[in-house]
């Protein structure tokens, strides 16, 4: 699995466009809100957490259709399934790659965006704390959706339709943790969702990959 992750990382670095596109989308989408709502610090500060969360979710969806799509089209998927790793192992490796190349960069750039949106500096660490499991969840569920829609004619359309509803609970608890005076409960819920998705999403994605390869 380590070999697969390192190879995929190398490919992602060579194909930096996916990560760059996600980051640019994240920044641009976040920047649009002050133009639409006005630069008033009170208004922006109240909704900054929600804006950052929603923009991060949408930005992380962008590279998902190429996560397995390129491997499916050039025959690499067969090799991955014959690599000796179980299919769920291949899926988990792809989830790790998606998080490292998309989730982690979004996490790193979320703080400056939140400050630009007038989020009080004291709340920024909490935002990052919620986005850490949030982006991981998105990588797990997004990869699951990418595997399910692999080979479908309108995969790029279907993928957000599957992923975004699944992410609504995480969005609710993630945004609530930042604005609530007692964030621990929401953080525990996020952690619980991550713990549930961690074994289930790779299993589901692995089964979907095998079905796509047939």
Partner 1 sequence: MLTNVSFSLSAGGILVLRGANGAGKSTLLRALAGLTPLAAGVLKWDGEDALHDLPSHAKRIAWLGHLDAVKPALTAAEHVPLAALAPVGLTAYANLPARLLSAGQKRRLAIARVAAAGKPLWLLDEPTTGLDSASLTRFAALCESHRQGGGMIIASTHTPLELTGVSVLSL
CA distance between the termini of the chain? 23
Does 10 contact partner 1 by CB under 8 A? yes
Structure tokens at 4: 């697969």
Total residues at interface with partner 1 (CB under 8 A): 18
Task: Among 2, 75, 122, 154, indicate the residue that binds partner 1 (CB under 8 A).
Answer: 75
Cβ(160)–Cβ(61) under 8 Å?
yes
Out of 5, 156, 158, 213, the only residue in the binding site for partner 1 (CB under 8 A) is 213
> Is position 20 an interface residue for partner 1 (rule: CB under 8 A)?
no
- Based on the shown chain and the rule CB under 8 A, indicate whether residue 5 belongs to the binding site for partner 1: no
Contact with partner 1 (CB under 8 A) among 6, 79, 185, 192? 79
Tally of CB atoms within 10 A around 45: 15
Question: From the CB of 202, what's the least distance to partner 1, in Å?
Answer: 14
**Phi, psi (deg, nearest 5) at residue 67:** -60, -45
Question: Using CB atoms within 10 A of its CB, is residue 17 exposed (0-12), middle (13-18) or buried (19+)?
Answer: exposed
2 binds partner 1 per the rule CB under 8 A: no
| Residue in 31, 172, 177 with CA at minimum distance from that of residue 115 | 31
Q: Using the minimum distance from each CB to partner 1, give the nearer residue, 27 or 207.
A: 207
Residues contributing to the site for partner 1 (CB under 8 A): 10-11, 14-15, 73-76, 78-79, 81-86, 213-214
């Amino acid at each position: 699995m380590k070999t697969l992750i390192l190879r995929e990382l190398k490919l992602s670095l060579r194909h930096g466009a996916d990560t760059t596109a996600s980051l640019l989308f994240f920044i641009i989408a976040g920047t649009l809100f002050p133009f639409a709502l006005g630069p008033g610090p009170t208004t922006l500060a109240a909704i900054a957490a929600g804006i950052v969360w929603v923009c991060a979710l949408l930005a992380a969806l962008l590279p998902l259709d190429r996560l397995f799509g390129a491997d499916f089209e050039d025959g690499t998927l067969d090799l991955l399934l014959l690599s000796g790793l179980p299919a769920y192992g291949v899926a988990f490796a792809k989830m790790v790659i998606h998080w490292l190349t998309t989730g982690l960069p979004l996490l790193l750039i979320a703080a400056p965006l939140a400050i630009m949106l007038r989020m009080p500096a004291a709340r920024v660490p909490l935002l990052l704390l919620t986005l850490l499991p949030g982006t991981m969840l998105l990588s797990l569920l997004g990869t699951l959706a990418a595997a399910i829609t692999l080979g479908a004619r309108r995969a790029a359309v279907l993928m957000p339709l599957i992923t975004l509803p699944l992410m609504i609970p995480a969005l609710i608890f993630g945004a609530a943790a930042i604005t609530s005076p007692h964030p621990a409960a929401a953080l525990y819920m996020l952690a619980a969702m991550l713990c549930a998705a961690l074994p289930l999403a790779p299993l589901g994605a692995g089964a979907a990959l095998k079905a796509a390869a047939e």
